[in-house]
Amino acid sequence: MSSSRLVTLIPGDGIGPEITDAVTAILKAAGAPFTWDVQLGGVAAMDKYGEPMPQATIDSIRKNGLALKGPLATPIGTGFRSVNVALRAEFGLYANVRPARTLVPGRFENVDIILLRENLEGFYVGLEHYVRVGDDPHGMAIAQGINTKEGARRIIKYAFELAVKQGRKKVTVVHKANILKMLTGIFLETAREVAKDYEGRVAWDDRIVDAAAMLLVQDPTKFDVIVTTNMFGDILSDLIAGLVGGLGLAPGGNIGKDAAIFEAVHGSAPDIAGKGIANPTAMLLAGAMMLDHIGDQATGDRVRNAVLATLKSGVKTGDLGGKATTKEYADAVIAALK
Ligand code: NAD
């Protein structure tokens, strides 16, 4: 076993603490080499420090370079920007990695897609303003997007490198270069350059985002690794989560040069918080991605296989049509590890 890594753990809000308990118990049983440095974020941090992402939590992530994050409720009406967007900017987390793999029989049987979303540029830079038209100060809204060659190159290179490392067959570059000829044309142009370095090793193609969305719901097996710009990635990553059973199963990683933050894609689920019935799978699979990230893919695979075996045996939480509580489900996954 590799030596233990100190990891910042943010249990988060709503169902966060419940699923965090389940996830840490399963990872411990799997022998994951993590020691947790527990820190506050979200509403839990607002109550204690008056801000949703306290300096102590940021310092901990900077020191450890690795974090597992529960869902954070965005405090309404306080004017705080999204904590998630702020963390991406703070740590330069340029790659948002979202795998989607069929775990429970559903609409599709064989989905196995990794989507890579550029995480720092595009329309998410927040350069927008209103323009007065006549008496209406909000008569017009203007937004600017920024994509750079450097930003495109590092995420596209990340996609090709991941394809090589994981023995994937194809990278699909998704864009809208027919209309946003410059903003997303630069992404396609950069992909053509980067792809030259992988000739003979990884195949690639490109698709316009609207056509890609249609093909994804018609036949997701046509896709392997997808790499795209920030907003298209935001939309398509939820779409692929829907193809494989929804939010309770969707993990994500935000990767930068010096830090990486792994999380469930879903939010704090206030409607079921405190009831002990939340599905911890998404956050658990985020933990498995973190194991891959530190080079311990064997333990990551053990966790994923135990999840698969548990779901196949019919032990499921309510969101997947089952009756198991969070604790019953976690106990079943732990039993399946053995
Ligand atoms: P949500 O993802 O919390 O919930 C949507 C629906 O999915 C709810 O019915 C919920 O019960 C269900 N659900 C979500 N996760 C589940 C799980 N693990 N097991 C079982 N059911 C689950 O989305 P929302 O209600 O729009 O947002 C609630 C709060 O979470 C908001 O404050 C929002 O800002 C925040 N949020 C945080 C993140 C994050 O931290 N990454 C992401 C999305 C939303």
Q: Quickly state the pLDDT bin for 331 (edges 50, 70, 90).
A: very high
What is the helix (H) or strand (E) element at residue 327, kind and residue range? helix 326-337
Q: Whose CA is nearest to atom 12 of ligand 1?
A: 269
Give residue-wise pLDDT tens across range 135-182: 999 999 999 999 999 999 999 999 999 999 999 999 999 999 999 999
Q: Does this model's pTM top 0.80?
A: yes
ipTM above 0.90, yes or no: yes
**Residue 243 predicted with pLDDT over 80:** yes
Instruction: Return the amino acid letter for 43.
Output: V
Instruction: Return the amino acid letter for 234.
Output: D
247, 249, 254, 323: which to mutate for ligand 1, most atoms within 8 A of CB? Answer: 247
Domain residue limits, the chain: 1-99+245-338, 105-243
Candidate list 112, 170, 234, 327, residue with the active-site label = 234
pLDDT at 129: 94
Fold: same for 1-99+245-338 and 105-243: yes
Active site residue 176: yes
Q: How far apart are the first and last CA of the chain?
A: 17
d(Cα 274, Cα 81) in Å, to the nearest integer? 26
Give residue-wise pLDDT tens across range 67-106: 999 999 876 655 566 788 888 889 999 999 999 999 887 7
Percentage of the chain modeled with pLDDT above 90? 83
Mean pLDDT in the chain? 94
Q: Is 85:111 a contact under the CB 8 Å cutoff?
A: no
Instruction: Return the amino acid letter for 61.
Output: I
Q: Is 23:284 a contact under the CB 8 Å cutoff?
A: yes
The residues facing 208 across adjacent strands are 175
Candidate list 94, 124, 158, 329, residue with the active-site label = 124
**Residue 1 predicted with pLDDT over 60:** no
Q: Which CATH architecture has domain 1-99+245-338?
A: 3-Layer(aba) Sandwich (3.40)
Domain 105-243 is classified in which CATH homologous superfamily? Isopropylmalate Dehydrogenase (3.40.718.10)
DSSP 51-101: SSS-HHHHHHHHHHSEEEE---PPPTTS-PPPHHHHHHHHTT--EEEEEEE
Lowest mean pLDDT among 15-29, 104-118, 223-237: 104-118
